Amino acid sequence: MVSGTLFNCRKHSWPPEEYVSRATLQLLDFDSAAPPEQAWRRRLNSHANRLKEFSVTFMEAIKMVRLGIRLWSYVREEASHGRKAPIDPFTRESCKPSASQGVPLGGMGSGSISRGFRGEFRHWQIIPGLCVASPIMANQFSIFISREGGNKKYASVLAPGQHEGLGKSGDQGISSWGWNLSGQHSTYHALFPRAWTIYDGEPDPELKVSCRQISPFIPHNYRESSLPTAVFVYTLVNTGKERAKVSLLLTWANSIGGISHLSGDHVNEPFMLRRRWSGWCTSTSQASGQPLIALLTAKDNPPVTFAIAACETQNVNVTVLPCFGLSEASRITAKGMWGTMVQDGEFDRENFNSGPSIASSCGDALCAAVAASAWVEPHGKCTVAFALAWSSPKVKFRKGCSYHRRYTKYYGTSERSALDLVHDALKNYKWWEEEIEKWQTPILRDDRLPEWYKFTLFNELYFLVAGGTVWIDSPSPVTDDKSNLSNHQHTPAEVENSDVSVTAAKVNCGQVAIVEHTRTSGFDSTAVNGLVDDDDDEKTLMRSLCEDESAVRREKRNCHQSIRPSTMEDSPYDGEDVGRFLYLEGVEYIMWCTYDVHFYASFALLVLFPKIELNIQRDFAKAVLSEDGRKVKFLAEGNWGIRKVRGAVPHDLGTHDPWHEMNAYNIHDTSQWKDLNPKFVLQAYRDFAVTGDMSFGTDVWPAVCAAIEYMEQFDRDGDGLIENDGFPDQTYDAWTVHGISAYCGCLWLAALQAAAAMALRLGDKAFAERCKTKFLKAKSVFEAKLWNGSYFNYDSGSSSNSRSIQADQLAGQWYMASSGLPSLFDDFKIRSSLHKIYDFNVMKVRGGRMGAVNGMHPNGKVDESCMQSREIWTGVTYGVAATMIHAGMEQQAFTTAEGIFTAGWSEEGFGYWFQTPEGWTIDGHFRSLIYMRPLAIWGMQWALSLPKAILEAPMINMMDRIYTSSQDTRGSLNEKGVRKIATKANCFGNSVFHCAC
């Protein structure tokens, strides 16, 4: 349970002086060794309490018993094929979740390793879709100090406390090491992608130590941000009167988590890389790096190579121990290694000539160590840099294909590229820091923003590294194990059967000519479908384009206009191929790029890595126009349907064969969901509007049209408004909806307005007019059926929760404001609804200290009609706060969002830092740790600093100006259009392909 102080006091500042003495901060105030003022902080001796998992009530269990039985059967069936089901609530990690997380290591998409705030390396995600939570306790930094004269000696692992297996009598393993650090005077400071650990006189009272962890996460840099490496820079300050010899030790087990270190056939090898660049590290031109490489071949998976290194300078001597073991049978034991360091502070330099080790036997652990020693003068300072890199160039999915990771574009496909990675990390880390500080400083110095918001904003980005991200170099799969960077050999992906079709649109209009490719035995059979449109001129245009596709491409290039948004350094698409990107819904929900959740999280990618965001949208645009006829059983209802329906936006890009076997989610038939298609339209328009990327717009336009047209089947009474079907047919997939719903209806209204605006930009006036007509008709119905005078009812049904106050009822309005489009409703109705949400869903739940509960009855009681209505969803709360900012309710917005910080990140909270869950209950029981949706906090930052393309757009109601003559269209688009997103408006004309530039 949470301590009562969580709900009785609110702390607005966390000055570092409360954790580290001011004198120590002044001593470390050089070379970025001192932590920034705005950082998340924790003392190392803080208790890492166990987290409490979510459980269903008795009545909820009764309702879901059939689903549970079917899900259990499905999980067992997948296990029989050697696969993990994407949703498996029955299997639990042996390592119980605890409040112990910290900033993860490395860039994006090349596997990740998290590091707890007390120093343990944990949450291994080297293999796609597999997360091993338990720490490898042999992976540690340690320190050995001896004062001149020999009267003072200290030796300790730089991690506090005990763990299971320590303290055994006569143990030759790591329990024999000096676990002497109390952590009472040591603190952790986090500002992703960096972290600082300050040892303020521990273990030596006269030595101040700062360890700063740096990873290459640099917005708009698509090279460095893909690298699987991290640097640890130790700054040593000797406050004593005697000269001190300080040796720092990094030990590393040949493992990718769990018991993989016992699988055998592991090899360690020492090596030395001489300095090739001037200015590398910190000192003389004779500097050299001595890394150690560990080669690991994981069972049934591509090999992984680790390299650990320290930078040798004129003052820093580096030595290595290539191999030691954790058992008595080892030639060199962990205890023997520790004894050598206590006595000498270094290893024998002859170890560099030892060559590769003998491959380990099954059941034997193989570890390695790198030591860096230096003399620190009285009142002197010294810097020692270590680096870690891992290389797993090939990513292999359980079914289907293997690909080369993004970083192989620069380092080749050899596993031994870890050597170059670790070397370059030591060379470039100072430049990384400069770029990181350039990015973060304007926000950190913005006095208008609360301190908690600043560091939570950056720290929530941990998910882009630790969220199971996969970033590949090329969409073509790898078939040749010996392929290299200059000679990749690719073949088309295989599918399980021929009942899979991909529909590719060749033109940009609602009723388009399509080319259908049906894969059969690796070949494509092509058939062109007929054209259906009432406009003969449009037909003629489309036929001519189909006959000369190369001309289309040329005109697309000529029409391409780009604008530099204020939050982006470069045009989001300048021709650079940035590969393809996947990130999980959550480490417990193993589905890549879950789209209903990406709707909330995508602001982070759009702001920081817009080219990745555009490519994800392109992937979904292709998916909309594809169909996969393989049969799937939907577990909630027990019925059968096809895996992917043409025209429907998929729930996700898959699990075991991404891009080729979509919709790994099989609880419900998501082709019947009412939120996915509108969310695609809204994201496509937002990304198009802010980037001004005409190439992107024309790429996704056919899918936008298809997505709108697909939804018309759900308008069963012809009133222009879609209806829900009496089951949880939206992202709240346990919360039943009847008739018209506030959530899906609002999204649909917004999608119609966005589609109309996009149609105007692309010259498709007929489609814009269709959307306008539907919008005007649907809006009046929506307000008549749901507006009750102060907010929009949950749905138009007659159930007990139909009048519930849904926190997310204005999700469509959020996107209108974020995209620079006119509001869906009168300002009074928007602000009234938000005030109702604030007063009830936020403030009536523990005084606003927990976020916004999803559902609240108008009598002030939480809606407990299902498990999701009574949950507080972290990402939804951030989205609601962003909507409040757009509506001019900044104070309420930050109070709402601060509840997520207080309950999840503060010292008195539940302990969800760097593993923010999908949601929690009022008593603090979480569901689904390390989840995608909390990235929605970047939707708040988007609202606070709207891009120039949005701010400078003319605020004219597009729905009143859709139909104009072709002559008027050119002029109005140039001066009075919906949003001015291109520098040459006359590039549009009647059709995007009629370019007169």
For the chain, what are the domain ranges? 16-53+97-163+172-274+288-466, 580-952
pLDDT range class, residue 264, cuts 50, 70, 90: low
Residue 800: what residue type?
Answer: S
Give the pLDDT score at 14: 67
Q: Residue holding tokens 């050299």?
A: 288
Give phi and psi for 250, each to the nearest 5.
-115, 120
Nearest to 392 by CA among 221, 231, 257, 217: 257
C-alpha span between 227 and 230 (Å, rounded)? 9
Amino acid 55: pLDDT: 84
Most confident residue range from 276-290, 348-362, 386-400, 762-776: 762-776
Spatial contact of 132 and 123, defined as CB atoms under 8 Å apart:
yes
Q: Residue 910 carries which side chain, given as an amino acid letter?
A: F
List pLDDT tens digits, range 890-913.
999 999 999 999 999 998 899 999
Helices 694-711 and 742-761, axial angle in degrees (round to 10):
140
Least confident residue range of 26-40, 332-346, 549-563? 549-563
pLDDT of residue 92: 76
Please state the rounded mean pLDDT for residues 53-67. Answer: 86
The token duo for 143 is 């320190």
More confident residue, 371 or 130: 371
Indicate the residue type of 863: D
pLDDT tens for 341-387 read 999 999 988 877 776 666 766 657 788 999 999 999 999 999 999 99
Q: What is the mean pLDDT of residues 600-605?
A: 98
CATH number of 16-53+97-163+172-274+288-466: 2.70.98.40
Cite the beta strand spans of 325-396 per DSSP E. Answer: 367-376, 381-391, 394-396
The whole-number average pLDDT for the span 234-251 is: 95
Is there a contact between 906 and 962 (Cβ–Cβ < 8 Å)? no
CA-nearest of 639, 869, 925 to 733 is 869
Do residues 926 and 732 make contact, with C-beta atoms less than 8 angstroms apart?
no
pTM: 0.86
Token pair for residue 805? 């106050």
Per-residue pLDDT reduced to its tens digit, 565-587:
333 334 444 557 899 999 999 99
Per-residue confidence (pLDDT) for residue 529, from 0 to 100: 30
pLDDT in tens, 182-212: 989 999 999 999 999 999 999 999 999 999 9
Mean pLDDT over the full length of the chain: 82
Query: What topology does CATH give the domain 580-952?
Result: Glycosyltransferase (1.50.10)
Tell me the angle at which helices 937-944 and 874-886 cross, rounded to the nearest 10 degrees.
Answer: 10
367-376 sheet: strands from edge to edge: 153-157, 140-147, 244-253, 367-376, 316-324
